[in-house]
Amino acid sequence: MNGLLYVDKPVGLTSHDVVAIVRRAARTKRVGHAGTLDPFATGLLVVAVGMSTRLLPYVLAEPKVYDAVIRFGAETDTDDATGSTTVERMAPDFGDPAVQAMLTHFIGTLTGRIAQVPPAYSAKHVDGERSHALARRGQGVALPPVEVTVHGWSLLEVVGNQLRVRITCAGGTYVRALARDLGRAMGSAAHCLALRRERSGGADVRDAVSVAALRPGAIAESLVALRSPLDVLQEMAHELLNEAALRDLAQGRSIPATVPGERAALLSVDPVTNARMVVGIGSRTTNNRWQPKVVLLGDAS
């Protein structure tokens, strides 16, 4: 009952809703997720079950890849299709070569390390309260810009006043805000009509299970299998432990480091399946040892 699950989140559910569904499917309260998805968005949500929840801070969740539909002609208070229209402006004629050149230029200005003002309806804190809570009460929210990284855009399709794009970015980037800012840069107005997360680090939505498959008990009864945390720890060094090292790890003692790297996934071998299992995370010390930061031994949950 320890491992990861990739879930294909449908429209309308919060990330917390998915966690609740997985808890019932696994019959355990020890469930967490990496990387929140807005209710209007769909796609990949990485969920950890059991002791694997302690690995979530070490999950490689970048870069993130999103498919988005940007609709021009209107801006909304949420920067997506769930909000109320706040500005209306004529959509650009994307069949015009001059407009196409503008689009390429302004996408370039929204690539790399950029300053981005988060949406008012976001989880950012303002004086100790979530921005979206203030916005829903009608209180004006003026969030300061934050630095985010957009690795690249791919234009997939143009249909009328809508662009379908694929955006690769770092965590903390709001694709909704990119849609809003692209609309403004083009002298129009725009919002994110649809958003789907395709990848997060080494995890891919093509490997995800549907929420429909996660009926109560489905994981506990092995109808839905959990994945090895190694799937999302591939960028970390791997140290296979012998029996002596496993005993030291169980006591929280440091372990000799035999592979390069500043941090390592500490592994043992399942005697039945011969599969490698993550039993801890270690950080390299100055005397070339792994100091345990997470220990996943001795817990049956």
Catalytic residues: 38
Residue that is written with structure tokens 């035999």 in the block: 258
Question: Within 10 Å of residue 301's Cβ, how many Cβ atoms?
Answer: 11
Encoded tokens for 63 = 């870069």
Contact call for residues 25 and 220 (beta carbons, < 8 A): yes
User: Can you say whether residue 182 is alpha, beta or left, with left for phi > 0 and alpha for psi between -120 and 50 degrees?
Assistant: alpha
> Tokens 């196409």, residue?
100
3-class DSSP assignment, residue 211: helix
Q: Determine contact, residues 168/161, Cβ cutoff 8 Å.
A: no
Q: How far is CA 76 from CA 121, 202, 240, in A?
A: 11, 33, 52
